[in-house]
Structure 1
Amino acid sequence: MKRILAVLGVLAAPAALAGCVPEGGPADAAAPGAPPCEAEFGEAFGAWADAGFSGSVALSTGGRFDCLAAYGTADPESGRQNTPDTVFAIGSVSKSFTAAAVLGLAEEGALSLDDPAGGILPELDGPAAEATVEQLLLHTGGLTGSHGEDREPLDREQAIAAIGRLERAFEPGTDFLYSNGGYTLLALIIDEVAEAGYREHMAAEVLPLPGGGSAGGFWDGEPAAPGPRAVGRLDGGGTGAAGDFAGPHWALSGGDLAMTMEQLAAWTHALFTGAAAVPGPVEGSGAPRFEHGDGTAEVPGWAALDETVYGAPVLMSAGGGGGTGQDAVAVWLPETERAVAVASNGPEVTAEELLEAVGPALLAGEAPPVPERPADADPAELAAAEGSYALGGDGAFEVRADGGGLTVAASGPDAVAALFPLPAEFDAGDAAAHEKRVRALLDGASREGREERAALESDFGEIAEVEIDGTLVQDGELRTYVVLGTGEGEVGMWYALDRQGGIAAAEGPVDPPSLRLVPSGEGRYRPDDPTGTGPRVSVAFEDGRMTVSGPSGSATAGPAD
């Protein structure tokens, strides 16, 4: 369950998504009674659907919906299409709801934002007990590490014990470090002080919408979000978690709500205009903030930008992952009382990527750009490119034809660096530092590292060797791939660690990182990335050799022996 800041402020244009209702067809649907959209907008977003966007969009201004639309397939197996009534897992956008619940309880006097967590939960031990409710809301409690895997059956007592074992990266209140465990601790606090318990309190006091109805429910367990559900598709193939996890659900308390995008946009509008049953972090309301010093700030459950960055205040919450194969974004524009909610259920074009791609044009008041179409593929040319290629240094590529393009897998630090050059916000020093943290983790330098190594050896046998296979950036985070030499053979993993060495995300066993390429003309290939947010590389094949060109130069690999 992640929070992305890359697309903050994307939707400040007055006419932003006013034309997102598609014109119809088998892959898209509009809400009955939704106003028609200008043709150029409908055509543009239809092109994004053709490029792979599958999901739902909702836009309201002043509480009135301008646009409700859906694209793509909700369930590939049955062929059921996404509609505005399709329910999506919203991941860490759920934290916005948890934060609102806490602010509501504080307003009622059931707790104080200055209360230390240990004062509310006497059984809580460790550094987490010293963090105040306000610090947990703002991710300034200093907690590092993970209290449990998504969909791990973790009961209340086990969750409190696991959070009590989390280490502290800094003195509470002095810095920022995003923490899923901190928000699960807030859910436990709600469970303690609310008469009905966490889930029942959320359903009865937080999710209800003005005028009747409710903003969904939970993806897993009860009270469940009603309605037809999207089936998520994962990067490596297969489908995401279906919402049938029986629990106990305390490993999921930071992000397991689900709803339609219409419901999410309606709740967002109600929260920031004071119409919701719980208070929101409205400017001037006295809600706490943590200033990052770069024009962004943290408010409970949301990230905020002031007017010096984009010309108008913007608040945003985003989330995804957690094995559901779905992503969601909620945006609030205070000056125009505009609420935007977008969800996706496929990896080709996620909700965040779509907003990032169309944002600059929307900010300029222009129609969204359409994705670049790949050139026609020559099957003979694709077949000729297949094979194994070795770099002169430490790295190799495996190339195979894949429909109308090629899929290239990279093994070894040099090959990974060539195929996945770091974006501008990261440099080689960042990657090297991340790799050092990953090695320290797997060497058992911390409590979390010792637990991780023990879990790996329980699954795969004794670890005799840890080999760094390269570092890249995906979903805005550094990921270091490793190959473990174990009793059961080589096992591939990747790790994304926070700057204190705590596990932010991890996955394994995994194959080496791969990139799908499509023809760009004149015998060259580019990433199959319609949003333009992926690696900036170009690949050519000539005389049995493969050349990868990127911002820092070119690397040529010859046929492997």
Structure 2
Amino acid sequence: MRTRRSGATRTATVALALGATLAVTAACTADDPAPDRPTVSANPRCDARLDAAFSAWARAGFSGAVAISTGDRFECLAGYGAADDATGARNTADTVYSIGSVTKAFTATAILKLVEDGKLSLDDPVGKLVPAIVGPVATATVRQVLLHTSGLGGSIGADDQPLDRAGAIAAINKLELVFPPGKGNAYSNAGYTLLAAIIDTVSGMPYRDYTRTRVLTLPGGTVTGGFWSGRPPAAGPRAAGYLDDGRPGHTGDFAGPYWTTEGNGSLAMTARELATWARALFRGTLVAPESARLAAAPGYPAGDGRSYTLGGWVAFDARVYGKPVVAIAGGGGDVGHNAAVGWIPERDQVIVMSSNRSVLTAEKLLAATVPSLVSGDPLPTPSAPAGGGDPAALTGGYRLDTGGSYEVTVADNRPRISASGADAVGALFPPRGRFSAGDLREHERRVLSMLAGKTREGREERKAVEAEHGPISTVAAAGTIVAEGEMRTYVTLTTRDGPRLGWYAVDEHSNIGAVELPTDPPALALVPVGTHRYRPDDPTGTGPDVTLDFAGGTVTVSGPAGTATAARKP
């Protein structure tokens, strides 16, 4: 199986859902005894209004933890849902989650500490600091790598691909630059692996030892987390992660070596620890005040009021949310976890959410609550679905006149519809939000061009697929959707072993960010909104904007671009 679902999620994409202020009055904090009132849940350390709202979102599918602090006091430390279905353990603010690409903020902090210590300069060429780096990126500066402007793009392997330090450097040396250093922007996991190699070399300590002692350990000796796989591990009970199809994710027992994710996605910690660490960073107790300023200050404009920072974060100016905000998020990989962090400088406020299910991730929950968090209004809560007819009557296949088809299945009285064929996929998953129909078409073009072997990475991908499944005779587009903040183009590869459906996510330079081959057709869970009408089970309102009407042996999918009607197969 070709699987490269990186836990180092693209920060610029996911951070769009972050950065909201949270205007609440704490009724109960971690420092104060609970007042004489009944608690509304098992979370007495969370303000009652916040807890009531988060509890409603938990009933809609959110499973994870929340940590919110203003100043040096927590006004919410809470867990929702199951941390592990097998054991029945519950999520708490002290449950450990993989933090994915939030790891980049820690790697950037290590670099800033080395600058403070006079071990390197932000304008040093990386080849000077690590002589083993002799590839095209050698002339790029540390500053450019931090800001994703080095010309490197993509990753150097799947998260669970065993790769040692020498292998990582060799892989980085082979990467072609997508533009000359400093002449563009390309989000790069490989770049942050390069920064880990710089830390390893310049500090005179192994990367993990330096990270543990100088970055994870706060003044006073508090250790905030560790690594998801390998040593030193994050201490505490771990949440099991659950992938899109409900399967358990990687549990952190990967034997390593770990250099595909070192520096870009290997850390893990609790929501409480992540919030504590973020405040120590921005308040200048973990690093010098100048470094704290650099960690939060705009460094490279990414458009729409956003900028990358030298601290690995995304800075939002006041035009976006009404106040300056700094945010980062990560996850969506094979672990099944998601973490999101927002820092509100004017309020000395940190908001952390972690989740262990894709039904309603931390990022999605923040996206749904951003307007209310900014305005200080009560948090929105999902509405209960209306009553419907008999879901079992919907089961079966439906075919469009244009050739595509839908398949409806029902489990636990909950219908689910999958789409096969570009026409069926396009109707069920119309573009929404910042992605236009043109964006989806362009993404499909890049994927097909890559798989035709027109890029070096594409030729390597074809070689890897053919080594497993035999020669590829045809590549056919099977639809493009937006999922987990990224565009994914489904393709059918005809090989010696027969047709294989898979999807690819590539960046604007055609670098592969994620791939799953083989995979199942894209699907949506449905909830009733009438006797015969259904909508996606999407309480945040961020998914496909479609309605499905089942009547007379047909299903009509209605969306912003029109309708498509499929007849039940005989």
| Structure-1-length-normalised TM-score | 0.94
Mapped pair 1:404 → 2:413: yes
User: Alignment partner for residue 546 of structure 1, among 547, 555, 565?
Assistant: 555
User: Alignment partner for residue 370 of structure 1, among 378, 381, 393?
Assistant: 381
Mapped pair 1:272 → 2:285: no
User: Alignment partner for residue 30 of structure 1, among 11, 28, 43?
Assistant: 43
Change (3 A) 1:19 1:377: farther
Cα distance per residue 1:324-345 (max 9 Å; x no partner): 1000011110001001111000
Opposite residue 105 of structure 2, the aligned amino acid is S
Paired residue total: 552
Residue 8 of structure 1: how far off its partner (Å): 2.8
User: Alignment partner for residue 498 of structure 1, among 484, 489, 507?
Assistant: 507
Change (3 A) 1:283 1:120: closer
SS in 2 for 1:74: coil
| Stretches of structure 1 lacking an aligned partner (at least 5 in a row) | none
Cα distance per residue 1:153-184 (max 9 Å; x no partner): 00111100111111211121122211000000
Residue 434 of structure 1: how far off its partner (Å): 1.1
Partners of 1:553 and 1:149 lie apart in 2 by 39
SS in 2 for 1:556: strand
1:161-310 equivalences under 5 Å are: 161-253=170-262, 254-277=264-287, 282-283=292-293, 289-300=299-310, 301-310=312-321
Mapped pair 1:7 → 2:17: yes
2:118 paired residue number: 109
SS in 1 for 2:214: helix
Residues 17, 363 of structure 2: 8 Å contact kept: yes
Counting aligned pairs with the same residue, the percent is 50
2:361 paired residue number: 350
Mapped pair 1:470 → 2:479: yes
| Stretches of structure 2 lacking an aligned partner (at least 5 in a row) | 1-7
Residues 18, 341 of structure 2: 8 Å contact kept: no
Change (3 A) 1:493 1:18: farther
SS in 2 for 1:268: helix
Partners of 2:53 and 2:67 lie apart in 1 by 16
Cα distance per residue 1:3-62 (max 9 Å; x no partner): 21221322x13228978999878xx7437xx3x523x33222111111111111101111
Opposite residue 473 of structure 1, the aligned amino acid is V
Mapped pair 1:132 → 2:154: no
Change (3 A) 1:486 1:18: farther
Residues 145, 448 of structure 1: 8 Å contact kept: no
Partners of 1:280 and 1:48 lie apart in 2 by 39
Change (3 A) 1:286 1:325: closer
Residue 280 of structure 1: how far off its partner (Å): 7.4
Change (3 A) 1:376 1:63: same
| Structure-2-length-normalised TM-score | 0.93
Mapped pair 1:150 → 2:163: no
Residues 306, 314 of structure 2: 8 Å contact kept: yes
Residues 281, 287 of structure 1: 8 Å contact kept: no
Residues 298, 315 of structure 2: 8 Å contact kept: no
Deviates more, 1:118-127 or 1:548-557: 118-127
1:333-348 equivalences under 5 Å are: 333-348=344-359
1:418 paired residue number: 427
Residues 148, 251 of structure 1: 8 Å contact kept: yes
Partners of 1:553 and 1:106 lie apart in 2 by 56
Partners of 1:343 and 1:218 lie apart in 2 by 16
SS in 2 for 1:343: strand
Opposite residue 30 of structure 1, the aligned amino acid is N
1:451 paired residue number: 460
Partners of 1:286 and 1:45 lie apart in 2 by 28
Residues 20, 45 of structure 1: 8 Å contact kept: no
1:442 paired residue number: 451
Change (3 A) 1:8 1:436: same
Residues 146, 166 of structure 1: 8 Å contact kept: no
1:63 paired residue number: 72
Partners of 2:294 and 2:129 lie apart in 1 by 28
Residues 387, 531 of structure 2: 8 Å contact kept: no
SS in 1 for 2:446: helix
Residue 376 of structure 1: how far off its partner (Å): 3.2
Partners of 1:284 and 1:192 lie apart in 2 by 23
Opposite residue 305 of structure 2, the aligned amino acid is G
Change (3 A) 1:286 1:365: closer
Residues 29, 74 of structure 2: 8 Å contact kept: no
Partners of 2:430 and 2:211 lie apart in 1 by 43
Opposite residue 56 of structure 1, the aligned amino acid is A
SS in 1 for 2:529: strand
Cα distance per residue 1:251-296 (max 9 Å; x no partner): 1111111111111101100100101146675447897711234311
1:526 paired residue number: 535
Cα distance per residue 1:118-157 (max 9 Å; x no partner): 1112222322212211001011112123211111100111
2:5 paired residue number: none
Deviates more, 1:450-459 or 1:422-431: 422-431
Residues 153, 191 of structure 2: 8 Å contact kept: no
SS in 2 for 1:203: helix
1:54 paired residue number: 63
Partners of 1:80 and 1:421 lie apart in 2 by 38
User: Alignment partner for residue 433 of structure 1, among 442, 447, 466?
Assistant: 442
Deviates more, 1:307-316 or 1:335-344: 307-316
1:313 paired residue number: 324
Partners of 1:281 and 1:104 lie apart in 2 by 8
Deviates more, 1:184-193 or 1:161-170: 161-170
Mapped pair 1:328 → 2:339: yes
Partners of 1:492 and 1:148 lie apart in 2 by 21
SS in 2 for 1:243: coil
Partners of 1:316 and 1:285 lie apart in 2 by 11
Opposite residue 152 of structure 1, the aligned amino acid is Q
Residues 281, 299 of structure 1: 8 Å contact kept: no
Residue 319 of structure 1: how far off its partner (Å): 0.2
SS in 2 for 1:472: strand
Residue 420 of structure 1: how far off its partner (Å): 0.3
Deviates more, 1:140-149 or 1:156-165: 140-149
